[in-house]
Amino acid sequence: MKLLSSWLTVIVTLGTYVAAVPQPVSHRVKERVVAPNDWVKLGRAPSDHVLELRIGLPQPDIHLLEKALYEVSDPYHERYGSHLSKEEVDELAAPHPESLSAVEEWLASHGILESDFTRSSAKDWVKIRIPVELAETMLDTTYHVWGHIHDGDAVVRTTSYSLPEHIHGHVDLIQPTTMFARFKGLKSTLIWSSDIQEEISYPGSSLITTPSGIQVDPSCNSTITISCLKQLYNATGYNSSATNGNMLGITGYLGQYANIMDLQSFYAAQRPDALNSTFKFVSVMGGLNSQNLSEAGDEADLDTQFAFGLTYPTPGTFYSTAGSPPYIPDADTPTDSNEPYVDWLDYILSQPSPPQTITTSYGDDEQTVPLSYAIRACNGFAQLGARGVSIMFSSGDGGVGDGDPDPTTQTCFTNDGRNVTRFIPGFPASCPYVTAVGGTVNIPETAVWFSGGGFSNYFPRPPYQESAVPAYLNALPNGTYAGLYNPYGRGIPDVSAQAWNFSIVYQQQTVKIGGTSASSPTFAGFVSLLNDARLSSGLPPLGFLNPLLYTKGLAGLNDVTSGNNPGCGTEGFNATIGWDPVTGLGTPDFGKLKAIVL
């Protein structure tokens, strides 16, 4: 028996040893795309160019997170307002231990040790910095430099990559590989001060009365100010707190810097009680906020001046995330990353107490973002929502088109190789776990012509839209735009706000600016005021807004029923009674909403 036992030990040991001997690795394609029409291949990527690869591991319990998100966001559910802790969200977003081990072993087989990579808070992302040469070996692919035919931007990308067979089930995606999105700011235009009329006093003219009975100064029909928005959206006289724990966050990308001197000049003109106050600056991944006046960003100035101006003295935070699309092939560029909003998501999800309200005025055409990446980013927004954060995104400035504000120059073709004419929804606005904000103009309000709207080709219609969106579609004449949009997709936008003629201070000049980049921080400002009222009353923040907005919140919104959003050679969709893919459910009435949520 002793001899037999010895032989068994030898056999088991040999078996273990044999299993550990490296075997030839067979790769299988993980993802393949057709390069978008406006990108051309310029040449092989330099072998020593450094890529910052993100590896997304599967989230097996993400359906439980979604269930919790809807329950804590449904005003009729017993769990309403019982938001999850950071630890609870991390647990629901975490990958299986087998996936962690498998990916670690795969990386180690290429000489990448645990000390060489970083993980996200839930361990669902792994990030490594490696040269192109190693990435090509690991992913069985070839990277090229691709140039954008319109503006000369360049990125290092591939149109296909593969993974070893035994890794496929443990990895959702790896980027940057097949993603050609550029994540641009959503603004239409600037109008310089020399073109601005003097503030019109309309001597002898009467106030404008809106359909809801609100009276607004007539000058607001030519220039939007803080005062105009508070009048129009029924918040005049409401004062927020600086000490109840409420916070408002604004995200900044692509070298857009929020200038404090501009902010002070804006406050002097429009919010004098806020003079000498400022915001907290947070750098993400090395993001900067240069105070050189010549580097002030129109987008960042707009966002900070109006969002923080509406909510003063609520503490505000401006997040600047590094990462800029253009890769200059002949420059000493150490990294190439143009997906900064997931870098920001990593950061904010790692924080114990993020702001209760956050607005973002950036996005890109949905089809330029690989589906796998869009789903993972969207899951990140769900994680935030479950923790009690309200997230607003601009819906876009191209109407139903591709983001170009001029509908006559849009190219509305699919980039899947078929070149089929199609309306082009925007992302991240198409994510069902964010509140997409469209645009209006004038008083009484109509849809602004560039208001991004339509239907996602990636995300199905969410439960909260199951009555509102079909009601709109059923009222469309038969055959309207058949084949140009996905009638079963998530509808965009959810709500809207003023988006034109915003008076800001930019590089110490008074200018006007427009775009849904104005409407998103505006709507977010009023959401922050609602959160202020709730926190001051001992209630939890609103969190994910959409289940509330499509039910109880309807009574606190101003329906916008005229206007349209042309694009792709069409007149686009029309605004109408109820939800529509131009202005969503309408614009906020703060007074009514406050009564609803308290």
Where do the H-state alpha helices sit in 182-286?
A: 226-232, 260-270
Question: Same structural domain for residues 199 and 175?
Answer: no
Please tell me which residue in 299, 364, 366, 532 is annotated as part of the active site. Answer: 299
Closest CA to 558 of 524, 593, 532: 593
- Indicate whether 3 belongs to any domain: no
Task: Report residue 561 CA to chain centroid gap.
Answer: 26
- Indicate whether 488 belongs to any domain: yes
The type of residue at 227 is S
- The verdict on whether 397 is a catalytic residue reads no
Question: Same structural domain for residues 260 and 116?
Answer: no
pLDDT at 352: 96
Please tell me which residue in 90, 136, 303, 346 is annotated as part of the active site. Answer: 303
Tally of domains in the chain:
2
Question: Same structural domain for residues 137 and 220?
Answer: no
- The verdict on whether 124 is a catalytic residue reads no
Question: Same structural domain for residues 415 and 435?
Answer: yes
Average the pLDDT over each of 68-72, 227-231, 444-448, 512-516 and give the range with the smallest value.
512-516
DSSP per-residue letters across 70-122: HHHH-TTSTTTT-PPPHHHHHHHHPPPHHHHHHHHHHHHTTT--GGGEEE-TT
Distance between CA atoms of 474 and 414, rounded to whole angstroms?
Answer: 26
Please tell me which residue in 162, 517, 520, 528 is annotated as part of the active site. Answer: 517
Task: Give 232-241 pLDDT, tens digit per residue.
Answer: 999 999 999 9
- Indicate whether 84 belongs to any domain: no
> What tokens were used for 129?
């910095």
Phi-psi region of 501 (alpha: psi -120 to 50; beta: other; left: phi over 0): left
Distance between CA atoms of 389 and 310, rounded to whole angstroms?
Answer: 19
> What tokens were used for 559?
């329906």
> What tokens were used for 444?
């009484």
For 42, the domain range is: 21-59+94-180
Percent residues over pLDDT 70 in the chain: 89
- Indicate whether 435 belongs to any domain: yes
Question: Please, are residues 427 and 373 in contact by the beta-carbon 8 Å criterion?
Answer: no
- Indicate whether 73 belongs to any domain: no
Q: Looking at 128, 148, 180, which one is the last position of a domain? A: 180
Residue 140 among known ligand-binding residues: no
- The verdict on whether 303 is a catalytic residue reads yes
Question: Same structural domain for residues 551 and 567?
Answer: yes
Question: Same structural domain for residues 191 and 111?
Answer: no
pLDDT at 15: 37
Has residue 265 got a pLDDT over 90?
yes
Phi-psi region of 377 (alpha: psi -120 to 50; beta: other; left: phi over 0): alpha
Q: 389 forms bridges with which residues in the sheet?
A: none
Residue 180: pLDDT band (50, 70, 90) is: confident
> What tokens were used for 537?
């009353």
pLDDT at 17: 33
User: Going by C-beta distance under 8 Å and a sequence separation of 6 or more, which residues neighbour residue 117?
Assistant: 107, 126, 127, 128
Question: Same structural domain for residues 414 and 268?
Answer: yes
Strands 435-441 and 390-394, by their bridges, are: parallel
Question: Same structural domain for residues 137 and 35?
Answer: yes
Strands 248-252 and 316-321, by their bridges, are: parallel
Question: Same structural domain for residues 371 and 253?
Answer: yes
Q: Looking at 145, 180, 215, which one is the last position of a domain? A: 180
- Indicate whether 106 belongs to any domain: yes
- Indicate whether 335 belongs to any domain: no
Task: Give 571-583 pLDDT, tens digit per residue.
Answer: 999 999 999 999 9
Eight-state DSSP code of residue 179? -
Residue 559 among known ligand-binding residues: yes
pTM of the model: 0.92
Residue 400 among known ligand-binding residues: no
Residue 56 among known ligand-binding residues: no
Strands 502-506 and 509-514, by their bridges, are: antiparallel
